[in-house]
Structure 1
């Protein structure tokens, strides 16, 4: 069952700290796990399909999410697990772009078990999950598209040239703030 507009807005206000962005904690409550991404959730088929896989592995298929524009928090519609997420998210973002909004998306599970936040397509985004179910069987797919606080900690040790470059490009303070705000351990 799809929730009504007022309920969707209430959901948004109860889950997301409107006006905040990463590295600040963008959700009112803490989730059990956080995964971060730097691709555009509106257009990256790989990111969308792995996100759907993570959510289905964690919670099953009986889910409905509400989708919002992150710039003005306009309710865009619902996303069902049985839909083609790539096509639906692309359609919602195209509709958003047609009205002159080139921001990112906020996608919230109507039962508040998971949430996705990306302020703009060029900003990092976060997927929060309230599940302690092991995702070990899909770790390779997850870590091809996401990072977590443990990876941020590894980067900050700067043991490889790649780590040094990542810390330089993202900023040590930014990464440390992400760990402080989202450490799930």
Structure 2
């Protein structure tokens, strides 16, 4: 699961800010503002260098600038909340907006983990299946298509039903009892 820069900033600020006094929150806002300015300037300089030198784009400085901008915005939000609420320290549990975002991130993470587990299970099941490609001569192929058409199936579905009914004798002979393909 990929978190946005805002998600990362909210999580970091929530963890780092827990129990932080209002004065320290103000310092974090100032520090984030400086980092945001520095990283944005670095991105601008790299863009100019790239355009002059014709180099390839480097995503890391841009991502870092984006993260610091998001972190600065989140620290400002926390500072405004602490000041408006009159709290001596930032308490993430009392921050209804931050708590809602944290719950949403947790929910999305759980969904992603469940989807990943389901994907792994499907892959495990698929690994146990046998897939094959069958080339059928024109005559038998025509008969196979006719049987599939009468049953409202595809030729592949008829072949799958055929394979499901295969019997292997003690001498290794492979046979299939007569059957009528069906849905």
| TM-score category of the 2 structures, normalised to the smaller one | under 0.3
Where relative contact order (Cα < 8 A, 6+ residues apart) is larger, the structure is 1
Higher normalized strand content (fraction of residues): 1
With normalisation by structure 1, the TM-score equals 0.27
TM-score (norm 2): 0.27
